[in-house]
Amino acid sequence: MDKILDIDNIDLKIISLLNEDAKTPYTEIAKKVFVSSGTVHVRMRKLEEMGIVKSATLNIDFSKLGYDISAFLGIYLEKSSLYDNVIERLKEIAEVINAYYTTGNYSIFAKIICKDTNHLRDVLNKIQMVEGIDRTETLIVLEESINRPIQLFQESNGKKEEEI
């Protein structure tokens, strides 16, 4: 908790700019934040060491690579104590791209991508054979309407303010 107190508005603005486009050069970020590019490097290293920034990722349109089906999978476990074992097995299935330990109806909520319905059926069969999984519920994505990072800053009357 104390580490969060070491974050200031410059750090938040750097994060916000990189969240919009992770390929933005540090020199360009430095100009927008009114600091040197060396300062951006130092602050990014600090944010990485603190575990706030974990990695830079690409936003890929998987459908253009032949993966036309995205689905969410609610996974019911036989016992919650099997969570760690089930997650380790799910990590071995390449089509599982996200998995979350949740409250509510499902023990695990996962996102999978597949090429077509036959591929989806094969992946679901693999997942349902994992020891510890009682049953699954599949929700096929028809359209992704929103996919954005949280906005850490908001422009208001020409002044930058943190959003809570």
Percent of the chain with pLDDT over 90: 73
Instruction: Count structural domains, the chain.
Output: 2
64 CB neighbour count, 10 Å cutoff: 8
Considering only CA atoms, which of 38, 109, 30, 29 is closest in space to residue 77?
109
Q: What is the pLDDT confidence band of residue 150, given thresholds at 50, 70 and 90? A: confident
Q: What CATH number does the domain containing 68 carry?
A: 3.30.70.920
154 vs 160: which has the higher pLDDT? 154
pLDDT for residue 92 is more than 90: yes
pLDDT for residue 131 is more than 60: yes
pLDDT for residue 43 is more than 90: yes
Task: Identify whether residues 129 and 70 lie together within a single domain.
Answer: yes
Q: What is the pLDDT confidence band of residue 1, given thresholds at 50, 70 and 90? A: very low
Look at residue 153 and tell me if it is in a domain: no
Residues 4-19: tens digit of each pLDDT: 557 889 999 999 999 8
pLDDT for residue 105 is more than 60: yes
What average pLDDT is seen over the chain?
89
Supply the range of the domain harboring residue 43: 2-57
Q: Supply the pLDDT for residue 6.
A: 79
Q: Which two tokens stand for residue 80?
A: 């919650």
Q: Is 157 exposed, middle or buried (0-12, 13-18, 19+ CB in 10 A)?
A: exposed
Report phi then psi at 24, rounded to 5: -65, 125
Residues contacting residue 18 through CB under 8 Å, at least 6 positions apart? 24, 29, 44, 53, 56
Q: What CATH number does the domain containing 25 carry?
A: 1.10.10.10
Look at residue 163 and tell me if it is in a domain: no
Look at residue 39 and tell me if it is in a domain: yes
pLDDT for residue 40 is more than 90: yes
Q: What is the pLDDT confidence band of residue 163, given thresholds at 50, 70 and 90? A: very low
Task: Identify whether residues 44 and 88 lie together within a single domain.
Answer: no
Task: Identify whether residues 69 and 107 lie together within a single domain.
Answer: yes
